[in-house]
Structure 1
Amino acid sequence: MRRSCDFLIDSFIDKRLHPDVRTILRLGTYQLHWMKIPDHAAVNDTVSLAPQWARGLCNAVLRKIAQEAPEWPTKAIEHSYPDWIVERLETDLGTYEAEEALKCMNRSKSAISREDGYYQDATSQLVSDLLIQEGSWGNGLIVDICAAPGGKATAAASHGHPVVAADSSFKRLQLARSNSLKLKLELPLVVSDGTNLPFRKGQASRVIVDAPCSGLGVLRRRADARWNIKEEDIVVLADLQLKLLCSALSMLKPGGLLIYSVCTLTNLETTGVDERFRELVEVEQVTPVSAPWRKHGAGGMILPQDLDSEGMCVFCYIAK
């Protein structure tokens, strides 16, 4: 809640603050307005952290913050997001759903243990369920081309399916290796550029592309990411996602299942990529319409507030 805290602090002081003093004031402001700690306790404990020369200032500012209800000028400041994220989600989701998602992603989250003991967010488990579902594609090889840290690949392997986990990052792929060892699973690992896979074409029954994305559905887990991602990055990511999908499709046997999932909520990376993909290639669409997935274009979406979880979008295809 850095931006929100700074707005409240700057409402009562107009001079440049020493970085350490600002940090201390942020701690106190957060306790007062979001943790609901009693005023006297929050103020006294916070002031005690300040250097002697700044204690009078910290005491005065925090007492003013405690006494006056904030008047937020924008939703972005109230919920502590960059302006562009709020504007983008309001455009793509609508004002109400966007604000509910933004509020939900400011709350702490917890993962859920799978049957095998692996902790994974509920929406990621739902994507894994789509991957391991039985269908006309059979029970042959499953390839996860953006596998690290291995949540979906280990879910499939734990159900007895033959799985190969590929990722472009050797370092991140070691997380998948560590997780598979903990679960006592056989999981072959391949360091590979997902847009130029080193596998023989047409050999997989199922391929999943859990693609790199802006991550705007998982900001409760990666709170600092909102300040690192730029709006122009989304265009670059959408182009990469399309390349990954086209590469993944070449891996599939006719009738094979292709799953595209992203933990973001922007249309450009979800329905936009889906539409561009289907303009380039010929596939049969399979839509996950059952609850808790919301219909999202030709695919499905779960917003953070739906399950008090991470946000996720998914699209399923059958190769021809």
Structure 2
Amino acid sequence: MAGKVDPARLVAYDVLRAVHAQDAYANLALPALLRERSVTGRDAALATELVGGTLRGLGTYDAVLAAVVDRPPDDEVRDALRLGVHQLLATRVPSHAAVATTVDLVRRRVGHRPSGFVNAVLRKVGAHDLDGWLRRVAPDPDADPVGHAAVVHSHPRWVVERLAEALGERGDELDALLAADNDRPAVTLVARPGLSDVAELPGTPSISPLGVVLEGGDPGEVAAVREGRAGVQDAGSQLVALALARTEVEGPDRAWLDLCAGPGGKAALLGALASQCGARLVAAERQPHRARLVARAVGTTAGVVTADGARPPWAAGRFDRVLVDAPCTGLGALRRRPEARWRRTPDDLSALVPLQRALLESALDSTRPGGVVAYATCSPVVEETAGVVREVLAGRDDVDLADAVPLVPEAVDAAGVHLPGTVQLWPHRHGTDAMFLAVLRRL
């Protein structure tokens, strides 16, 4: 008879299986499962910690498991072992409880046959603490600094290499950046101008003048959030929207566009900012189901169209301000989407970079002379950021790169090192996602 498994660990395991077997997103799958099973309070908090912690530490935990097993376990067993290793090495759960609950979980979800194997493996893991294991499994930092950082900070090697390249001359900050990727992210709220005021939001001030850091609790319980007058949004995204609104334009300023609006967070803020200026935002999204999410987020502050931003249905030169929040690898938001580091590969860049260039070209074509385009990515990878902007600029004589740094005065030491005039935010330096921003002006 399998032992009783608490609901928090069952939820955590089932979310991990959904992430790895079905390509689910943990930030969507976890809340849905908690609601479906009515898991609340301390159990919900434990499940959240187990999911996030296990996904963030996956690379380290797999290296530890590889040192104690002589054959790769089945995927179902591997996810249970990862969950057990996280409890053993990175939580205050007593070792005996971490082992026993994981064994019971395997009996409940997989069957009795692998339970002895799981028990033996976890007892071997429990023989050393995390530092002891890192000394055993991480490559020598002098002989292989990238490999060492990859294991110690639980990032794929190629991601470490791309982040080191993105830091450029600030490469000595790599360990701090990788460590920040593994911090549990704070929940940041945004007050949408004209609809709410930052003073009515509970929490401490964030780097964004429109935001606060929620110190605890469910953001859905905040009245302004529940009523759609405020939202949950990383401070870096808030600063990108503010930068576009702060940019001077020549001539009329009535028509704004969010070219890639899904799921709607930036569009909701831009729509509110546009309304304050007497302008109107059009929010475009290619996928119908995401367009519906955008419509729900923006309410009456914007018009929503289902359209491919790379092949827009509107006339050229239609807009005064355009935001391109381009699809990207998401390697700047690993705090909030830890599974992205394991899901993305270098091959993704070969598809994303041409799309990013096409979207930026389309945005510029959609902007009238004297208007401006903000190009943003939630990734610091050079190919997706400075590389895209530099290549587009090289092919056009009707565009100039504006200096975006003064548009984000709240972010100290945020100048992009790969293309002067751009902005690069960092989680370890600014407490935000690693948002990139370039502002281009049609001549």
TM-score by length of 2: 0.67
2:237 is aligned to 124
Instruction: Return the alpha-carbon distance in structure 2 between the equivalents of residues 127 and 231 of structure 1.
Output: 26
Deviation larger for 265-274 or 83-92: 83-92
- For residue 360 of structure 2, give the secondary structure of its aligned residue in structure 1: helix
Show CA shifts across 1:113-148 (max 9, x none).
Answer: 111311111100000111222623453100111111
Residues 198-277 of structure 1: matches in 2 within 5 Å?
198-277=313-392
How far apart, in 2, do the equivalents of 1:21 and 1:237 lie? 34
* Offset from partner CA, 1:229-254 (integer Å, 9 cap, x none): 22122133122111111111112222
Assess, with a 3 A threshold, how the Cα gap between structure 1 residues 153 and 21 changes in structure 2: closer, same or farther: closer
Tell whether the 8 Å contact from 1:111 to 1:122 is kept in structure 2 after alignment.
no
> What per-residue deviation string (whole Å, max 9, x for no partner) do you get for residues 139-183 of structure 1?
3100111111122221122131300011221111111011123xx
Is the contact made by 1:235 and 1:268 (CA closer than 8 Å) also made in structure 2? no
Q: Secondary structure at the match of 1:195?
A: coil
What secondary structure is seen at the aligned counterpart in 1 of 2:415?
A: strand
Structure 1 counterpart of 2:165, from 78, 83, 91: 91
**Aligned with residue 65 of structure 1, among 121, 125, 133:** 125
Q: How far off its partner does 1:30 sit? A: 0.4
Distance 1:199 1:25 in 2: 53
Q: Select which of 235, 241, 246 maps to 1:133.
A: 246
1:292 matched to 2:411: yes
Amino acid at match of 1:152: K
CA spacing shift, 1:33–1:287, aligned 2, 3 Å: farther
The answer for the alignment partner of 1:170 in structure 2 is 288
Task: Please give the residue correspondences for 1:3-82 in structure 2 after superposition, counting only pairs within 5 Å.
Answer: 3-51=59-107, 52-68=112-128, 69-70=132-133, 71=135, 72-73=138-139, 74=147, 75-82=149-156
Tell me if structure 1 keeps the 8 A contact 2:268–2:301.
Answer: no
Q: Sequence identity, in percent?
A: 33
Distance 1:307 1:317 in 2: 24
Kept in 2: contact 1:28–1:62 (CA 8 A): yes
Structure 1 residue identity aligned to 2:415? K
Residue 188 (str. 1) matches residue 303 (str. 2): yes
Residue type matched to 1:284 in 2?
A: D
The question of whether the paired residues in 2 share the 8 Å contact of 1:105 and 1:219 is answered with yes
Letter matched to residue 84 of structure 2: G
TM-aligned CA distance change 1:288 to 1:36, over 3 Å = farther
Structure 1 residues 195 and 18, CA, compared in 2 at 3 Å: closer, same or farther? Answer: closer
Separation in structure 2 between the aligned mates of residue 308 and residue 204 of structure 1, nearest angstrom = 33
Which residue is 2:267 aligned to?
Answer: 153
For structure 2, list consecutive stretches of 5 or more residues without a partner in the other structure.
1-56, 140-146, 192-228
| Deviation of 1:266 (Å) | 0.8
Unpaired runs of at least 5, structure 1: none
Asked if residue 104 in structure 1 is aligned to residue 180 in structure 2, the reply is yes
Q: Contact (CA 8 Å) 2:376, 2:437: kept in 1 or not?
A: yes
Q: Evaluate the alpha carbon distance shift between residue 3 and residue 136 of structure 1 in structure 2; reply closer, same or farther with a 3 A threshold.
A: closer
The aligned amino acid for 1:62 is: L
**Alignment partner of 1:261: what SS?**
strand
Tell me, what secondary structure is at the counterpart of 1:292?
coil
SS in 2 for 1:148: coil
Higher relative CO (Cα under 8 Å, sequence separation at least 6) belongs to: 1
* CA distance in 1 between partners of 2:270 and 2:306 (Å): 19
CA contact (8 A) 1:217 1:265 kept: yes
Give the RMSD, CA atoms, in angstroms.
Answer: 2.1
Q: Distance in 2 between matches of 1:40 and 1:96?
A: 40
Q: 1:306 aligns to what?
A: 429
Partner of 2:258: 144
Partner residue, 2:200: none
SS at match of 2:317: coil
Provide TM-score, normalisation by structure 1: 0.91
